[in-house]
Structure 1
């Protein structure tokens, strides 16, 4: 075993903990199919949301950790779309909702695309998911339920469900109400007359012929094969059938799906397979503490996060405490960006064993790209405050200050910083500017601000951030702020119009000594 493997087996980061469970499950060797299969599932009934990305990101982290533990064992990751599901309701956040309403009950890949861009609504949402995963650089293989069902690749597994029909029903029926029990079947026929996915009783079964008999919507009794895409399975038996057919070794799921995971595990054993390893992550909540939902469109979408911050910050958010419920709304973005920058800054100097514990290792598979380095020591929070102080409408305004603060930096030499500048301007314009509320200073605060103004007026323009920070501290103490937090809060609210802010020394160094003097003059004149 190499030194790196030894460190990986000892690492405490949760992806390594998960990967070690998988190594133990496999007995330390490749499974008979020749590779270890990781899977993530996606229900394309609505536009993809951050929860979907989180599942792929976290599963990828476990996959890479496994590869560190077992470098000679091939791995694959399937991103599986349940796009043969019937459209149960019209999402709130799409156009042409009336069009979708006409196709309720049909497989998602048979529902017209309300955006008018793709073959179907399912194809549209699949494309959105793939586009995002591709842009982030995930290595995965996209899989479509429609393709697997219609191509016949699920046929053997579907026939196994038919052969074990009674045993599968014995697992499912106790979980259902009396009314649902009366009509439940694991098989959902696709109506030949309407194209809808039908939840109807199965009147007859013929395991030898591989067929079932049911009553269509027009009252006609229909015998149909369970193979070739003529039926699909209810989602819990479908999940188990997929594990069995594909030989899935690892799949995680949300905490709300724990009962479903347990049911699917029982069914896959009935079929002759083994449930995959995995863990149950906590749910994402919106700012009101409610679960985010594809159909409601609450919380954040992937596109919204990426409008205001780089994808690496989103990956960090997914890495941190996956078993803890976390609110996911716009206010969490700046902190996520700055935490990511801090981890990147510390990574290269860390000892090899420490690197395996760093989120950066799991975000970048052990190697931090050069293009995310070089931010001239500027945090995202500081850039946001600069945007506010300068009332920045564009990145050019910001770069005017940055070039003076860090003469060697430019959009060309610091491309990641340039991206952060663009994000900061957008975030400021959308969220900070509309909520700014300046207040008048108290007499104590006015005296302290006037003193700060006069002191800065005699301070060299190239004073260091640390020197400026000490200057601000001393003036706060001088004017009786026993709690310096109150002094900084006063500066934030009076000068910046907000309740939080940066280290003032760093901000003054970036914004400029003369510019800060002018800002104080304007505040005292209000």
Structure 2
């Protein structure tokens, strides 16, 4: 079993609360943490928080040796509400399937899966496996169509008047608020660029089954002819369980609900029913579910008053944004998913993004240049931990990111700086032979002898360069010297190049070249190479760096010069600098 974390972070505090509450409710019972995802489209990084918060808490409970299970409900019996934009292999013809269960909608063209739900669920399952997330998956299609919830459905129909009365309390609040000139106050994201994590969860519809002109029914059948939920229940008999409905397609039918498994409870009734059925102790939800009249608030009343259960501990979790992108919504194409993130960052780093922030704190996942800074922070934390100078909460977050109760996650044997790896693969265009040469020269005392030593981080950096860095920002080393520029140099510039070239062999390592490129302007100013630079000297250094970039890559900026010099190679550097 993995080491127990210090009692210093939000995960430990919530785990304490959940364990105590579970014991109070049913002594000796296994603790149940829950998540819910709807595979209605690409399941994005905002939806991932719906899973990661319960996962981290459940994992901490397991580390303590307390029996615990993480349930993940796949809300694949939800209706297909709209066709997401930009999904490859999907066109307007999918509009014909709106209203069907997600498991009855065809998968995108070319998919190996038999349904829309299976297509998007499988991608998320693969990402969760890579992230080390253990859970018991529950298909709501299987639960409903196999009759698992049959008694709960019949009970809800018998108690429909009481359910309607509870719901009416909140409808009245909404009407009162509207009469005063506005709706109930909703919690909004602090940053509009951060998207609600609710879209893509089963709670998105916020359906309570109201809206009809007749008697209230908390059950919605799918039409047996057109398969859609464009139905209206017209009659129900509690004794015989005969249910009559009409559909907008023109079909009318009377079924025996005790035997009919082609429909589901409306969302605001379905969720509390499941809390009671599964005995859920902990399930967080997005900010939209915490507002007055929302499914979480109303569900708390229904689970206690109707289903004789208890509402789980359910803290709010905040929005997740993407650095450099305006919005993240699973209804739009091109939305970053966990699979996208795992192509450019290692699993422990992505886990760390969710572990280091309290659930009510928003954060952004970097797909742009910020990813280099994020990796720098991660590497700096590991150095602090090794030196014994890290704070307890930071140690806990790192442990949760790099290990689970089942053991450690895979790591890179030689975790070289991400920005260095990115520069190297950028300059070499991913050539393995050139990449190995450069990595082997970074630290001559401990050379990298095989690329596998730097993997998988190396592969993530290469993927980032190839997919996230625009072609015009890629590094292109000059093929021939810029003779016109070289001939125009003044004496001081020529001297700076001479000093650099003379020191290449002696300083041919990452640290050595760093000392050399920063030291040349110091030597020219009559200072010791180790002297602290003044403001005036910094200006001279920037001018020297700009000259080198122009001669090597034809621009004013580029990768860090020490890395660039190593990547170009000593012979080519001499050629391009006019030696």
Determine whether 1:186 maps to 2:182: no
Q: Is the 8 A contact 1:159 1:226 kept in 2?
A: yes
Alpha-carbon deviation of 1:253? 1.9
Identify if the C-alpha distance between structure 1 residues 385 and 272 changes in structure 2 by more than 3 Å, giving closer, same or farther: same
Cα deviations across residues 60-94 of structure 1 (Å, max 9, x unaligned)?
211122234x42x2111112111011111112114
Identify if the C-alpha distance between structure 1 residues 38 and 260 changes in structure 2 by more than 3 Å, giving closer, same or farther: same
Alpha-carbon deviation of 1:460? 5.2
Identify if the C-alpha distance between structure 1 residues 328 and 373 changes in structure 2 by more than 3 Å, giving closer, same or farther: closer
Alpha-carbon deviation of 1:451? 4.9
Q: Is the 8 A contact 1:387 1:398 kept in 2?
A: yes
Map 1:335-414; keep pairs closer than 5 Å: 335-348=373-386, 350=388, 354=392, 357-363=395-401, 364-365=403-404, 369=408, 371-375=410-414, 378-388=416-426, 390-406=427-443, 409-410=447-448, 412=450
Cα deviations across residues 127-176 of structure 1 (Å, max 9, x unaligned)?
22222222333211111001111222222322332233223223434447
CA distance in 2: counterparts of 1:275 and 1:446, whole angstroms? 77
Alpha-carbon deviation of 1:512? 7.3
Q: Is the 8 A contact 2:441 2:447 kept in 1?
A: no
CA distance in 2: counterparts of 1:282 and 1:447, whole angstroms? 59
Matched positions, count: 508
Over the aligned positions, Cα root-mean-square deviation in angstroms equals 3.9
TM-score between both structures, scaled by the size of structure 1: 0.82
Flag structure 1 segments of 5+ consecutive residues without an equivalent: none
Paired position in structure 1 for 2:132: 137
User: Which is richer in helix?
Assistant: 1
Alignment partner for residue 236 of structure 1, among 268, 273, 281?
Answer: 268
Match of 1:203, SS state, is strand
Paired position in structure 2 for 1:424: 461
Determine whether 1:273 maps to 2:309: yes
Map 1:437-456; keep pairs closer than 5 Å: 450-456=494-500
Cα deviations across residues 252-272 of structure 1 (Å, max 9, x unaligned)?
222233233212222222221
Identify if the C-alpha distance between structure 1 residues 194 and 17 changes in structure 2 by more than 3 Å, giving closer, same or farther: same
Map 1:92-491; keep pairs closer than 5 Å: 92=85, 93-114=87-108, 115-173=110-168, 174-175=170-171, 181-182=211-212, 185-198=217-230, 200=232, 202-217=233-248, 218=250, 220=252, 222-225=254-257, 229-258=261-290, 259-270=294-305, 271-286=307-322, 290-321=326-357, 322-328=359-365, 330-331=367-368, 332-348=370-386, 350=388, 354=392, 357-363=395-401, 364-365=403-404, 369=408, 371-375=410-414, 378-388=416-426, 390-406=427-443, 409-410=447-448, 412=450, 415=452, 417-432=454-469, 434-436=471-473, 450-459=494-503, 461-463=505-507, 465-476=510-521, 481-482=535-536, 484=538, 487=541, 491=545
Identify if the C-alpha distance between structure 1 residues 169 and 329 changes in structure 2 by more than 3 Å, giving closer, same or farther: farther
Flag structure 2 segments of 5+ consecutive residues without an equivalent: 179-208, 477-481, 526-533
Alignment partner for residue 8 of structure 2, among 12, 15, 33?
Answer: 12
TM-score between both structures, scaled by the size of structure 2: 0.75
CA distance in 1: counterparts of 2:150 and 2:420, whole angstroms? 58
Paired position in structure 2 for 1:24: 20
Identify if the C-alpha distance between structure 1 residues 352 and 316 changes in structure 2 by more than 3 Å, giving closer, same or farther: closer
Match of 1:79, SS state, is strand
Cα deviations across residues 224-256 of structure 1 (Å, max 9, x unaligned)?
417752321222222222112111111122223
CA distance in 1: counterparts of 2:373 and 2:95, whole angstroms? 41
Identify if the C-alpha distance between structure 1 residues 152 and 476 changes in structure 2 by more than 3 Å, giving closer, same or farther: farther
